[in-house]
């Protein structure tokens, strides 16, 4: 079914997902339990982590577009990720961890987008019409990593502690590095590069989207919906261990189950979107998300928390996979700008979510974070209802859908 190169891409994507799935769900718990950080310190740490990653990723993306080898960028990023994981495994100093995140972990933020760009360039050159299917398998690799990664991470943490878990995360990054070393790299021809530059010059300084009420409303809705999810993911393990006195491994089970539910809905959404419309499905996803966050506020029973993950999986699958398509429908003549704006809104939501968890948990509780998530989801729903839907636009040549693992 797959040739050697395609299998290498898929394995690389899987281990890239595993490296992050073994570390990121544990970071909040690590900061509070091992580094004795207050909720506000934790929120500030996560905000700095996100912001430094955005800056580094944007700079490296510019370097790659100007001719720097994407393979070498990904390899360097994975080395930096491994260094970060090993430092966090060995250190119990808050400020050393913070410096490590800024200097090393930030660089690793480009790994997934640059790997997907490598995959897109390969599929465009070698697979033709089958390239879309291949990229879907790559995205499924990320989702699969988040099905198995968080449960294993929390089990390892319970049995062996944070250090061993972070070491395994580093090993996963190094396996991905080896896989990337064997990948082909296709660069744009001089003509293609010039055409891309011309498109960027034509649209790069066009700020008319600010006058488009539907675009602005949708971007605000995007920030709200993804902030809700980011706050939940950060608060969940701390809520379970600190307030419900439940083993942290249950956070892994919950995250993994949600990711498992996402996979079939990612596929189903692809069939339903042309029939029902992107906005209608996005509204359904936000309703599902609102039910999920409301459910968190109503129960402390583990089996009910597990059942609620169905609603979480539907919410994340729809919002992550259709959000970019919806904004492209709203900005048909500026696909590149639409993609950039959606990515920036997601990054801003991570920043808002990190700060929100810290402040709410510091002055209220981790349980209260879920109430804020519910409020954010409802705000996102109201904003999206005010968006005037445009007719679906064709997929742009430079569109690569983001991985939808939650």
Per-residue pLDDT of the chain (406 residues; tens, 9 = 90+): 678 888 999 999 999 999 998 998 899 889 998 999 998 998 899 889 988 988 887 788 778 777 888 889 999 999 999 999 999 999 999 999 999 999 999 998 888 888 877 887 888 788 776 666 777 778 778 888 888 888 899 889 888 999 999 999 999 999 999 999 988 877 655 455 445 445 444 444 445 767 788 889 999 999 999 999 999 999 999 999 999 988 888 988 998 899 889 888 877 887 787 788 888 999 999 999 999 999 999 988 999 999 999 999 999 988 877 887 787 778 776 655 666 677 778 878 888 888 899 899 999 999 999 999 999 999 999 999 998 876 554 444 443 333 444 4
Nearest to 341 by CA among 245, 204, 187, 238: 204
**Domain co-membership, 389 together with 293:** yes
The CATH number of residue 306's host domain is: 1.20.1250.20
**Domain co-membership, 174 together with 212:** no
**Domain co-membership, 298 together with 156:** no
Q: How far apart are CA 10 and CA 79, in angstroms?
A: 19
**Domain co-membership, 216 together with 129:** no
**Residues 6+ away with beta carbon under 8 Å from 72:** none
Nearest to 25 by CA among 230, 196, 224: 230
pTM, two decimals, is 0.77
pLDDT at 372: 96
Look up residue 227 and give its two tokens: 């902030």
**Domain co-membership, 172 together with 214:** no
Contact 279, 318 (CB under 8 A): no
pLDDT at 188: 55
**Domain co-membership, 168 together with 248:** no
Neighbours of 201 (CB within 10 A): 9
DSSP state of 205: T
Q: What is the DSSP string of 100-135?
A: HIIIIITGGGGHHHHHHHHHHHHHHHHTGGGHHHHH
pLDDT at 288: 96
pLDDT at 335: 58
**Domain co-membership, 182 together with 249:** no
pLDDT at 196: 47
Look up residue 296 and give its two tokens: 């968190």
CA distances from 384 to 61, 230, 315, 340 (A): 30, 19, 14, 19
pLDDT at 398: 41
Q: Is residue 196 part of a domain?
A: no
**Domain co-membership, 133 together with 213:** no
Q: Is residue 340 part of a domain?
A: yes
The boundaries of the domain holding residue 40 are 1-138+148-186
**Domain co-membership, 180 together with 268:** no
CA distances from 107 to 12, 74, 308, 318 (A): 18, 9, 35, 29
Stretch (H or E) spanning 167: helix 162-181
Rounded to 10°, the helix 366-385/213-238 angle is 160
Q: How far apart are CA 153 and CA 162, in angstroms?
A: 9
Q: Is residue 20 part of a domain?
A: yes
Q: Is residue 403 part of a domain?
A: no
CA distances from 234 to 231, 278, 310, 373 (A): 5, 28, 19, 11
What are the φ/ψ torsions at residue 227 (nearest 5 degrees)?
-65, -40
Q: Is residue 195 part of a domain?
A: no
pLDDT at 339: 64
Q: Is residue 405 part of a domain?
A: no
Separation of first and last alpha carbons in the chain:
28
**Domain co-membership, 171 together with 312:** no
Q: Counting Cβ atoms within 10 Å, is residue 191 exposed (0-12), middle (13-18) or buried (19+)? A: exposed
Q: Is residue 65 part of a domain?
A: yes
Q: Is residue 202 part of a domain?
A: no
pLDDT at 382: 96
**Domain co-membership, 258 together with 383:** yes
**Domain co-membership, 118 together with 244:** no
Say how many domains are in the chain: 2
pLDDT at 262: 86
């Amino acid at each position: 079914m797959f040739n050697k190169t395609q299998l290498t891409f898929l394995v690389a994507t899987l281990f890239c997902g595993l490296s992050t799935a073994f570390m990121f769900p544990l970071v909040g718990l690590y900061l509070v339990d091992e580094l004795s950080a207050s909720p506000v310190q934790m929120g500030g740490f996560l905000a700095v982590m996100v912001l430094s990653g955005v800056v580094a990723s944007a700079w490296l993306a510019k370097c790659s577009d100007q001719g720097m080898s994407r393979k070498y960028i990904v390899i360097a990023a994975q080395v930096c990720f491994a260094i970060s994981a090993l430092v966090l495994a060995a250190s119990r100093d808050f400020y050393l961890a913070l410096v490590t995140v800024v200097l090393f972990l930030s660089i690793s933020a480009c790994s997934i987008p640059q790997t997907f760009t490598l995959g897109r360039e390969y599929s465009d050159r070698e697979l033709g019409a089958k390239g879309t299917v291949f990229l879907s398998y790559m995205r499924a690799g990320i989702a699969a990593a988040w099905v198995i990664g968080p449960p294993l991470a929390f089990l390892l943490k319970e049995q062996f502690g944070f250090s061993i878990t972070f070491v395994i995360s580093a090993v996963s990054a190094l396996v991905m590095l080896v896989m990337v070393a064997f990948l082909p790299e296709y660069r744009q021809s001089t003509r293609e590069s010039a055409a891309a530059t011309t498109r960027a010059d034509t649209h790069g300084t066009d700020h008319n989207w600010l006058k488009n009420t539907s675009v602005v409303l949708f971007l605000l809705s995007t920030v709200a919906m993804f902030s809700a999810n980011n706050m939940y993911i950060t608060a969940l393990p701390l809520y379970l261990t600190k307030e419900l006195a439940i083993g942290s491994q249950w956070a892994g089970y919950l995250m993994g189950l949600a990711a498992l539910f996402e996979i079939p809905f990612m596929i189903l959404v692809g069939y339903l979107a042309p029939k029902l419309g992107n906005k209608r499905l996005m509204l359904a996803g936000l309703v599902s998300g609102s039910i999920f966050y409301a459910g968190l506020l109503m129960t402390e029973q583990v089996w009910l928390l597990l059942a609620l993950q169905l609603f979480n999986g539907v919410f994340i699958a729809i919002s992550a996979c259709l959000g970019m398509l919806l904004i492209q429908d709203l900005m048909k003549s500026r696909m590149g700008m639409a993609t950039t704006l959606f990515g920036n809104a997601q990054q801003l939501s991570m920043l808002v979510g990190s700060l929100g968890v810290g402040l709410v948990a510091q002055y209220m509780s981790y349980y209260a974070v879920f109430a804020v998530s519910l409020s954010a989801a409802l705000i996102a729903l109201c904003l999206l209802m005010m968006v005037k839907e445009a007719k679906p636009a064709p997929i742009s040549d430079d569109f690569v859908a983001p991985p939808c693992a939650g």
